[in-house]
Structure 1
Amino acid sequence: MRTETSTGTSTARRRPRPRTLAVLVVCLVLLGAGVVAGVRWAREATGTVTLLANWSGAEREQFEENVIEPFEEKYRIDVVYQGSSALSQVLAADMAAGNPPDVAVLPGPGELLSYAADGRLQPLDGLFDPRQYDGMWAPEVTVPGRGGHTYWLPVKTGLKSMVWYRGDRPDVRSAGKPERWCLGMESGATSGWPGTDWVEDILLQQAGPRVYENWANGKLPWTDDAVRKAWTTFGEVVGAGGNRRVQQALTTGFGVRCAPGRLEHQGSFRAAHWQPMGDYVHSAEIIPDAGPDAGAWEVSGDLATLLNPSPEAEQLIRYLADPDTALPEYTANKEAAPDGGQDSTARKIGESLRKPGEPRCWDASDTMPRTTRDAFHQAVLRFLVAPKQLNARLTELEAVRTVQDLPVCGGG
C-alpha cells in the first residue's frame, strides 16, 4: 500500500515487525491483568486499618508475611503498616496531632496504662477471651470513672532471665569474671535497656517476685536496700567503672555477635545466634546471692491495643487473638497448638512462657511509666561509667517514682 505525501511524492508505510507486535500484545495483556486485579481488589476490599509497631527488617517481613497478608486475603481489609524504632515518640506525636493509628503495638503495659487512664484506649471487651491468657498478659484494668476493662492483648512474647553459653554449663563461680560477659548497651532511642534487664533480673532472683512487683509498681523506693543490692551486684558482675571495656559497651549494639567462650544475658530473641551448639541456663544459677524465691522468669511482650474503633480495626484485634493465627516467635495464648516444627530449644522456651504454674514477671521497666523507664535507661548508662555515684542515680530515680497498680507477676 502506498500513500501520497503533501508534496505529491509517494512513500511506503512501514509495517510493524512481528517481534514488535508480540511484545506489544504481551504488554497489553499484562496491563489489562493489572487493571482487572486492581479493580477486583478495590471492589472486594471492605476497608483499611492502620497499624503502628516497632518491627523492622526481617522481623517486619515475618509479621507481614505470616500475619498481615493472610488477614488481608481472608477479610479483604487493607492493613497500612507503619514501623518505627522511636515508637513512643511517634505515637505521642500522633496522639497530640489527633491522628493516632487504629491499632498500636507497644512493648509492655506501662505506657499503655497511662493512655488508658487518659481515656485514649478503647476497651477490647467482647473481642477475645482473656481467659486464654495468664492474667498478667491480658488483665482487667480499672480506670477511675470507667470501671474495669481489658485494654490490650499480647501479640508476641519473649523469655528473659536467660544466660546463653557454649561449652561447659556456667554457674555462679565460673561466671564471676566480668571479661566473660558480652555487654552491648547501644539501642538507638532506647539505649541502656540491656542494663535495666540485668538490674531487674538480679532483683527478681535475689528478692523474689513479691518485692519485685512492688518495686515495678512504684510501691518500693529506689533507695531500698534490696534495690541497691541489685545495682551493686550488676556492677560487680559486669565490671562497672571508667574502663575501656565499659566505654566500648556503651557504643556496642545489643545484637553484636559474642566472641567464643563468652556468656550473654539476653532474651529468647537471641536463640538463633546461639544455635545449634549453644544452650541456656536460668539466670538464678549464676546470679550471686539468689534468694529462696529465685527461679521466676522475667518476660517481655508486645501488646496490641485499639485507639480508633472501627469494624476493620476490631476484626484485626480478633484475628490477633485467634489461637490459629501464626503469630511471630512465641505466643502466650494457652489455646494455641505447639508448633511441631520447632526445635527443642524453641519448645522449651514456649513452655516456660505458657506453662501453668510457671512463675513469670513482666520486664519491670516495660511496666513503668515512660518517664521512669527512660530515666532508668539513662541511669544504667551513667552507673556503668561511675558506679561510685550510685546514690545520686537512685535519688534521681526516686524523684520520678510513680505508684500504680498492674499485675506484674503471675503464673506461679
Structure 2
Amino acid sequence: MSHPRRRPLVVLVLCLTLLAAGVVAGVRWAREWTGSVTVLANWSGDERAQFESAVKRFEEQYHIDVVYQGSSALSQVLAADLAAGTQPDVAVLPGPGELVAYAAEGRLVPLDGLFEAGAYDRVWMPKVAGADGRERTYWLPVKTGLKSMVWHAGDVQRGGLTALAGDPDGWCLAMASGATSGWPGTDWVEDILLQQAGPQVYAQWASGDLAWTDPRVRRAWRTWGEMVGAGSRGRVERVLEGEYGGDCPRQSLEHQGSFRDAHWKRVAGDFVHSAEVIPGARPDSAQWEVSGDLATMLNATDEARKLIRFLADPGTELPDYTANRKAAAPDGPGDPVKRRIGAILRGSQQRLCWDASDTMPPVLRNAFHQAVLRFLVAPEGLEAQLRSLQALNDGRRPTLPVCGAG
C-alpha cells in the first residue's frame, strides 16, 4: 500500500540535510581556507603528481587552495591570458626566454625578498631589467635538468666510447616530440658550439649578438651532421619518426639530459661530459648546458607571495633536481649517478650555461626546431637554413646572463 503523503516529508528532510551540509562547508571555508592561487604549467603524469604532492603541504599549512592549470601549449595560453587580463597568479615556464621579455614589459611581479639570498647561483636567478629599467629578480627555479651528457651502458669502457661516437649508427637518436619535434637536435647543435667555441661565443650567439651564419656556428651544425649521419635516407627516416625518450639499444650512446637516468639505470648506465666525444671540443672545456622550469608571479596577491616563499624553501620537495644550494640532495646513497648530477647542478666549481633555445624568443626557437629537421634530411641546404634563422634574429632582446659559475 502506498503512502503518498510521505514524499513531501522525505524531500523536506533531504533539502534540510543538503542545506546543513552547505552551511558546514561554508563554515569550514570561513574558518580554514583563506583563499586560492592559480598555477599554470605544462607538467603531466609523474611531474604533475610530484608537484601536487609538494603543494599539498602548502595547502594544509596555509589553508590556501592551489588550483593547477595544465597546458601543453603553455606559451600560447599564457600570451592569450595576458592579452585578456586573465593571467594566472603564478606561471611555470621552461626557460627564461619569454620571461625576460615579459619582465621588460612590466608583466611580472619582482620576487626580491621572497627567497633567501645566496641560495641560488646567478645563472638560475639573475636580476634582469623591468619596465622601469631597474634590475630585479623575476623567477625561481622549481625543477632543473642537466645536459651536455652522453649516456652509455655500464659495461661500455671509456676506450669504446670514441669508437661508438664515431659511428652514426652508434647513436640512439630520435626527433619526434609532437609540436616541439626537433628539440633534441637543437640540444646537439647548441652543445657542440658550447664545447668547440667556449661559453663567451655561446652566450653571444644565444643572446642574438652573434650571427647564425658565423663560421663557428656553421661548424657546429656540420660537426653534428657528420656525427649522426645527416643525409643518410634510411637512418634519417628512423630518426625523424622515432619518439624521443624511447628505448635505446644497450650498445649505443645517447646525447640526452638528466631526465633519462631512469632509462639508463636499467643497464647500470653512466654518463660522460659530451666534450669527451665531440670532435674539436676545447681541451679545457668544462661547461654544462642546463635547463629549468621557472616559476614567476603575475598577480601580486598575498596567496601568490606565500606560494613563491614556499617553493623557495629548501625543505620543500620539488620534482626532479633542485638548484637550491641549501636543500637536501634529492638522491640516496645508493645512487651515485643522481649524486653526480645533483652536485653539478648545485656545485660551486662548475660552469653552467642555459640551453640556448630556451633563452630565445618563441618564433626563433620554433624555427630552430624546424631547421634541424630539414638539415637532417638535406644537409647541403645548411646555408639557406642559417640565413633564414638569421633573418629572425633581430638582436634587439632584453639582456640575460646565459652562462654563470654554478
Q: TM over 0.5: same fold?
A: yes
Letter matched to residue 283 of structure 1:
S
Cα shift readout 1:214-259 (whole Å, capped 9, x = no counterpart): 1111111101111000000111111111512212222221111112
Letter matched to residue 373 of structure 2:
L
Of residues 323, 347, 370, the one that matches 2:362 is 370
CA gap of 1:297–1:38, structure 2 versus 1, over 3 A, is farther
What are the ranges of 5 or more consecutive residues in structure 2 without an aligned counterpart?
A: 4-16
Structure 2 partner of 1:86: 73
What are the ranges of 5 or more consecutive residues in structure 1 without an aligned counterpart?
A: 1-10, 14-28
- C-alpha distance in structure 1 between counterparts of 2:49 and 2:2, whole Å: 57
Letter matched to residue 52 of structure 1:
L
Q: Secondary structure at the match of 1:173?
A: helix
Q: TM-score, normalised on structure 1?
A: 0.89
The aligned runs of 1:349-368 (5 Å cut-off) are 349-368=341-360
- C-alpha distance in structure 1 between counterparts of 2:142 and 2:97, whole Å: 16
User: Is 1:192 matched with 2:170?
Assistant: no
- C-alpha distance in structure 2 between counterparts of 1:366 and 1:340, whole Å: 26
Structure 2 partner of 1:210: 200
Of residues 28, 45, 48, the one that matches 1:57 is 45
Letter matched to residue 218 of structure 1:
G
Checking the alignment, whether the CA contact within 8 Å between 2:171 and 2:253 is kept in structure 1 is yes
- C-alpha distance in structure 1 between counterparts of 2:331 and 2:22, whole Å: 39
Give the percent of matched residue pairs that are identical in Structure 1 and Structure 2.
64
Q: Tell me by how many angstroms 1:63 deviates.
A: 1.3
The aligned runs of 1:175-254 (5 Å cut-off) are 175-241=165-231, 243-254=233-244
- C-alpha distance in structure 1 between counterparts of 2:178 and 2:385, whole Å: 21
User: Is 1:147 matched with 2:153?
Assistant: no
Structure (1 or 2) with the larger CA radius of gyration: 1
Cα shift readout 1:119-164 (whole Å, capped 9, x = no counterpart): 1111112111342111010011023524111110101000001111
Checking the alignment, whether the CA contact within 8 Å between 1:49 and 1:312 is kept in structure 2 is yes
Q: Tell me by how many angstroms 1:38 deviates.
A: 7.3
Structure 2 partner of 1:40: 28
Checking the alignment, whether the CA contact within 8 Å between 1:165 and 1:274 is kept in structure 2 is yes
- C-alpha distance in structure 1 between counterparts of 2:363 and 2:117, whole Å: 29
- C-alpha distance in structure 1 between counterparts of 2:345 and 2:117, whole Å: 16
Cα shift readout 1:326-351 (whole Å, capped 9, x = no counterpart): 11111001111224636211111000
Cα shift readout 1:86-132 (whole Å, capped 9, x = no counterpart): 11111112122221111000011111111111111111121113421
CA gap of 1:312–1:245, structure 2 versus 1, over 3 A, is same
Q: Tell me by how many angstroms 1:402 deviates.
A: 3.7
CA gap of 1:340–1:97, structure 2 versus 1, over 3 A, is closer
Structure 2 partner of 1:156: 143
- C-alpha distance in structure 1 between counterparts of 2:21 and 2:332, whole Å: 38
Cα shift readout 1:152-210 (whole Å, capped 9, x = no counterpart): 01010000011111121343333111111111111122111100000001011111111
Letter matched to residue 362 of structure 1:
W
CA gap of 1:173–1:401, structure 2 versus 1, over 3 A, is same
Letter matched to residue 78 of structure 2:
L
Checking the alignment, whether the CA contact within 8 Å between 1:369 and 1:402 is kept in structure 2 is no
Cα shift readout 1:278-332 (whole Å, capped 9, x = no counterpart): 1111111111111134121110011000111100011111111111111111100
- C-alpha distance in structure 1 between counterparts of 2:331 and 2:46, whole Å: 22
- C-alpha distance in structure 2 between counterparts of 1:285 and 1:116, whole Å: 38
- C-alpha distance in structure 2 between counterparts of 1:345 and 1:402, whole Å: 41
The aligned runs of 1:256-267 (5 Å cut-off) are 256-267=246-257
- C-alpha distance in structure 2 between counterparts of 1:154 and 1:188, whole Å: 25
- C-alpha distance in structure 2 between counterparts of 1:12 and 1:146, whole Å: 80
User: Is 1:104 matched with 2:94?
Assistant: no
CA gap of 1:288–1:172, structure 2 versus 1, over 3 A, is farther
Letter matched to residue 402 of structure 2:
V
Q: Secondary structure at the match of 1:132?
A: coil
The aligned runs of 1:107-146 (5 Å cut-off) are 107-143=94-130, 145-146=132-133
CA gap of 1:262–1:173, structure 2 versus 1, over 3 A, is closer
Structure 1 partner of 2:10: none
Q: Secondary structure at the match of 2:49?
A: helix
Cα shift readout 1:1-60 (whole Å, capped 9, x = no counterpart): xxxxxxxxxx699xxxxxxxxxxxxxxx9x999985775255311101000111001211
CA gap of 1:35–1:192, structure 2 versus 1, over 3 A, is farther
Alpha-carbon RMSD across the aligned residues, in angstroms, is 2.2
Letter matched to residue 205 of structure 2:
W
Of residues 269, 272, 278, the one that matches 2:269 is 278
CA gap of 1:258–1:47, structure 2 versus 1, over 3 A, is same
CA gap of 1:357–1:402, structure 2 versus 1, over 3 A, is farther
User: Is 1:292 matched with 2:283?
Assistant: yes
Checking the alignment, whether the CA contact within 8 Å between 1:257 and 1:273 is kept in structure 2 is yes
Structure 2 partner of 1:3: none
